[in-house]
A = this chain, B = another copy of it.
Amino acid sequence: MPARRTVGILGGGQLGRMLAHPAALLGVPLVILDAGLSTPAKQVLAPIPPQTHIDGPFTSSTHIRELAAQCDVLTVEIEHVNADVLEEIEKEGLCEVQPSPRTIRLIQDKYLQKEYLASKGVAVAPFEKVEKTEEGIKGVAARLGLPLMLKARTLAYDGRGNSPLQSVESGDIQKSLEFLGDRPLYAEGWAPFVKEVAVMVVRNTKGEVRSYDAVETIHRESILRVALAPLRAAGKGMENVNERARELAEKAVGCLEGAGIFGVEMFLMEDGSLLLNEIAPRPHNSGHHTIEACSTSQYENHLRAILSLPLGDTSLIVPSAAMINILGVSSSLSDVYAMADAALPIPGAKAHLYGKAESRKARKMGHITITAGSDASLREKMRPVLLAQSDLSASEFIDSLCPPISTGKSHPQPLVGIIMGSDSDLPVMLPATKILDQFGVPYELTITSAHRTPARMVEYAHAARSRGLRVIIAGAGGAAHLPGMVASETSLPVVGVPVKASVLDGVDSLYSIVQMPRGIPTATVGINNSTNAALLAVRILGTSIPAYADAVEKYAKTMEEEVLAKVGVLEELGWDKYVTDKLKK
């Protein structure tokens, strides 16, 4: 007898399809309720008699009850289901329902959702119920300010329920009301966010909660286009933004009933604070990357959660990942294949097609996940994939995500930070840049001084790891405190370059850098030898990115060949002539 309980899913779209794969791996029987014989989920899930998929709407009481009759646990891959029937089924003891029908109902109404979360102390943007009249809207705008977000309380997703109001002129108000249709509305004050952020949270039947690393979500026309993991945010107030986003998301999900995965969307404000935007009580588009990039995908964890199996580890297993949605541009499926096929030649890129029989403009037809050993490599791999998305031809969107790289300037996604106390150290530090250029290592270079800009130095060191840096090279001369002070404020390896100052031949700098107290190491190289500092940085990077270690091996081979060539010339010319011809040049 199979040890697993049968799960019924209301909805058979792409989220159901992505649930089907871990279900097969875990041996969990799944049954789908959705209209159509060959929805995305039904395609990858042959019903094993006596179980049969159900062809009908997930709002229909009859069909939901027909599903419940075959299953032990019901769950949803879309929240716009009939929550009342689910609650009846739960009360009658026909089936377990996860997450709780009360949670689903609460989330169906975005106003009630927000009101509930705010009552639990979760930070949200200011919001108000709104009457669908000009007077009502003007009143709210007077209190919450402009622009004002008018939002449908129900049946809103992928931008179909949001209308930003720029003025309270009659024409604008009427246009918004028309766009939002006959659904009840509420209003939100504009949150001038710097980034949108999402965290997937899984909660099991005992109420234990685990979150995934936060991702940056990038929308276009209110539809998610790109998600980037891990979240990068630097600057004042951005410390521990990932941890804070996870805490807020866990707190919000902790206020809800029932088990399963939840997608929590947030706004990251300029001062580093976070406001909760909304919660989805199901797998979410901003967690697709977890399939390839995390120990346990959001889909597998949803199944584990609702079946009371142990929750899976949520860690990222790769340094960087991106998810790019493939949106239909027309009715042509060939266009969809072409957009997906852009992933094929890119190492670490994987296309996911949803098997939808019909394409149409802005319909989610698939996505591409890209994993990479670094942010810089990720952006490089993203570019051709983004360029192949017919609706993204607007190059400023692609350039903003994958900016062109200029040599002699700091790379936007550096792995190595070169810092020095003064621009007078620059001539000594430049050879490091040449080596990093030669090895194709993305780096940045700046000036920060232990003595003249101590606050800037500390801020730089604190943010370094979360910005994606893996090594810091610090050059300093005389009472050379920069490398050791930076090492005291970061967990990254810090390579110190003793710069020869005006007296003592650089020995002062060397001792100041190398003789650190027990507890805080610096990796010291020879006096003025920034070449070796960069080569050491490449070796360190080689421990996480094998291509760099291979390149170091090739570099050593080349050095050997160069010396051997000189041996040949020496033999040919004799040493007297060698000195005259070669060394005197």
- Interface positions of A (Cβ within 8 A of B): 1-4, 17, 20-21, 24-27, 38, 42-48, 295-296, 300, 304, 309-310, 312-313, 315, 317-318, 333-334, 337-338, 340-341, 344-348, 350-353, 355, 371, 431, 465, 470-471, 488, 491-493, 495, 510, 514-516, 518-527, 529, 531-533, 535-536, 539-544, 546, 549-550, 552-553, 555-556, 559
Residues in B with CB closer than 8 Å to A531 are 518-519
- B539 near A27 with CB under 8 A, answer no
- Closest Cβ of chain B to A56, distance in Å, is 17
- A46 near B48 with CB under 8 A, answer no
| Complexed CA–CA distance, A441 and B236 (Å) | 34
What are the 3 closest A-B residue pairs judged by CB atoms, nearest first? A523-B523, A313-B347, A521-B532
| Complexed CA–CA distance, A43 and B30 (Å) | 11
Q: Pick the contact of A44 from B45, B351, B524, B555 — CB < 8 Å?
A: B45
- A43 near B43 with CB under 8 A, answer no
Copies in the assembly, this chain: 2
Q: Pick the contact of A337 from B3, B520, B532 — CB < 8 Å?
A: B3
**Known contacts being A25-B351, A352-B25, is A539 close to B344, with CB within 8 Å?**
no
**Known contacts being A519-B531, A531-B519, is A493 close to B540, with CB within 8 Å?**
yes
- A38 near B27 with CB under 8 A, answer no
- Closest Cβ of chain B to A539, distance in Å, is 4
Find the B residue at minimum CB distance from A27.
Answer: B353
- Closest Cβ of chain B to A514, distance in Å, is 5
- B312 near A344 with CB under 8 A, answer yes
Q: List 13 A-B contacts (CB under 8 A).
A: A24-B43, A300-B350, A309-B344, A310-B344, A315-B347, A315-B546, A317-B348, A470-B543, A491-B556, A492-B543, A493-B523, A514-B526, A519-B535
- Closest Cβ of chain B to A72, distance in Å, is 15
**Known contacts being A25-B351, A559-B519, is A491 close to B549, with CB within 8 Å?**
yes
Q: Pick the contact of A333 from B1, B25, B344, B465 — CB < 8 Å?
A: B1
- B539 near A521 with CB under 8 A, answer yes
| Complexed CA–CA distance, A3 and B336 (Å) | 9
- Closest Cβ of chain B to A526, distance in Å, is 5
- A491 near B337 with CB under 8 A, answer no
- B350 near A25 with CB under 8 A, answer yes
Residues in B with CB closer than 8 Å to A21 are 21, 44
Residues in B with CB closer than 8 Å to A471 are 543
- Closest Cβ of chain B to A389, distance in Å, is 16
Interface centre among A1, A312, A344, A539 (most CB of B within 10 A): A539
| Complexed CA–CA distance, A164 and B127 (Å) | 78
